[in-house]
Structure 1
Amino acid sequence: MNGSLRSTDNVVDMKLKRGPAGLGFNIVGGVDQQYVVNDSGIYVSKIKEDGAAGLDGRLQEGDKILAINGVQLEDLTHKAAVDLFRMAGEDVELRILKKSPPHMNGTSDSQPEHHSPVFSLGLLLALAGAAAIFSFIYTRHTRKHF
């Protein structure tokens, strides 16, 4: 049976029971294949819907796996991490750092939006068009008739 062990902030401990499709997720990362700049951690890259993780529903793509069966995944090569998962047995305990949710509605630490140059050009053209129409209407309305 799958179930939580304990949770602290964004760190979640969970148990998964290996099924016919394995644990049902792929990993990326390691000291030899950094997935995140300046971070050699192991991350979930894909969840298989019919696997143990997909059926459980708590593990998400982008989550960082901190430990498996109590073994820390720091400073491991990708292959060493894969080997740990393969030898983990049927009942697997994972310690996960959940990916941070995106910030909503302008929290104090949110980053400004970055728009593509095409968006900026389109906005500029729309404003220029509106100014031209306004100017045309204004000059036509204020023109004196003799």
Structure 2
Amino acid sequence: MNGSLLSNSVDIKLKRGPAGLGFNIVGGVDQHYMDNDCGIYVSKIKEDGAAALDGRLEEGDRILAINGIRLEGQTHKAAVDLFRTAGEDVELRVQKKSSHHANGPSDPQTEHVPPAPYLGILAVLTGAAAAAILAFVYMRNVRKAF
């Protein structure tokens, strides 16, 4: 790992709750979550779990280490086993997901927000469609009156 990867990393301490740490992971050297990236990532934060109650861990964050053990080069199963045997107090080294990546969004499922001009066109078209529907309903009711 180079220094730029660690520039947005944080340490998060969690206390295992009745339902575990409260998040799911994806990735590993045998199950790439992203192309050319064998890291371990948070895929889901469970409501009311330890991670959700703490509030710092987010879906899409990369877990770099657990209790000082680096996850780089680990299989998915090996990473899961490390989480399961980590004890009650768990320290995570986490690389926060970045909002923008040099080659595009880091999350392939990032919602696309259209530019402002397209929103204006959409508003005009929506208004025109509503007017056409109202005109149709009016004309239909006027015809019935005869």
Q: Normalization by structure 2: what TM-score?
A: 0.65
Gaps of 5+ in 2: 1-5, 105-111, 126-146
Residues 119-140 of structure 1: CA deviation (Å, up to 9, x unaligned): 9xx99xx9xxxxxxxxxxxxxx
The answer as to whether partners of 1:42 and 1:66 remain within 8 angstroms in 2 is yes
Higher share in strand: 1
Residues 38-58 of structure 1: CA deviation (Å, up to 9, x unaligned): 110000000001100011110
Q: Structure 1 residues 23, 114: CA separation in 2 closer, same or farther (over 3 Å shift)? A: closer
Amino acid at match of 2:60: G
Query: Of residues 79, 82, 87 in structure 2, which corresponds to 1:81?
Result: 79
Greater shift, 85-94 or 9-18, is seen at 9-18
Q: Normalization by structure 1: what TM-score?
A: 0.65
Query: Of residues 32, 49, 52 in structure 2, which corresponds to 1:51?
Result: 49
Q: How many residues align?
A: 106
CA distance, structure 1, for counterparts of residue 17 and residue 82 of structure 2: 17
Q: Which runs of 4+ in 1 moved over 2 A?
A: none
Alignment of 1:92-131 (within 5 A): 92-102=90-100
Amino acid at match of 1:42: I
The secondary structure found in structure 1 opposite 2:94 is: strand
Query: Of residues 8, 11, 17 in structure 2, which corresponds to 1:10?
Result: 8
CA distance, structure 1, for counterparts of residue 25 and residue 47 of structure 2: 15
Q: 1:144 corresponds to which residue? A: none
Higher share in helix: 2
The secondary structure found in structure 1 opposite 2:56 is: coil
Gaps of 5+ in 1: 1-7, 104-108, 127-146
Q: State, as a whole percentage, how many aligned pairs show the same letter.
A: 73
Based on CA coordinates, which of the two structures has the bigger radius of gyration? 1
